[in-house]
Structure 1
């Protein structure tokens, strides 16, 4: 038989397509051998997005994916999806407060919404300075942080504020707008 697509060779020789989906729902496809280390996929994805791979977390069915694993070891099939999230910005290490999800500094997810309506989510501790969120957002969007203004209920947020100071709760939204230059006539 000359059609190799109908055969399933042993040892991970048949390539499969893996979909990597970001927080905004955008998908990037990679065709890889079942024996390829996931680190190669993740590094290629980070390169395409222009983001440091160390600031990303890759999840499969809610579990972190090890960079040394392979599609074969993960039992991935053609067109399976891996979710990509920006890793937590700032705050304490994962071990601190991990036992009690209701601790005062438990991570919350905040949504940053731009003028086009696009949302970017960040999982941060309530004690994290907003400066870290602003810098991570600007870096992800490829914009100078000085050109952006972040607002909560129409009021400008300071870099030194924290979610706790702003009384932000899980899934709260802040708005991001481009700084207006010039004035009125």
Structure 2
């Protein structure tokens, strides 16, 4: 998720490491704030892979700051990751939201719609549930043993219903844009 967020934000324009960290934190911070210990090694890996470059720029004070930008290989990798998200990037809501944040960078409406169709198929697949009755078998959320677990189910159903509605609308719009 972190390399994808780095590539996505740098596709919008060059950034200093601190600016990049702020944007990633704004996107994912409520879930998992990005630490320097995770961010800078990820930047170094992308740089060693030829996907981003850095150059010095005078800072506000005396210190020189490093600016990060995408290379052509970085843009190609971003496009590949958006076009072909992994299964977990479709099924995990937070990873999927990272894909969704940058999906506009994939210029082909048919390819964008294909990603959304994968998410819709995941949402439409029957789920086993994660609450269990006294007999140890999964139960529907509305039959969960506690008020709070039933609340989780109700919230999840409402969220999934809203997401399905948006997905159907977005796919129809993208299909119209691609001529399908």
TM-score by shorter chain over 0.5? no
Structure number with higher helix proportion = 2
Q: Per the shorter chain, which TM-score range?
A: under 0.3
TM-score w.r.t. length of structure 1: 0.27
Which structure carries more strand by proportion?
1
TM-score, scaled to structure 2: 0.27
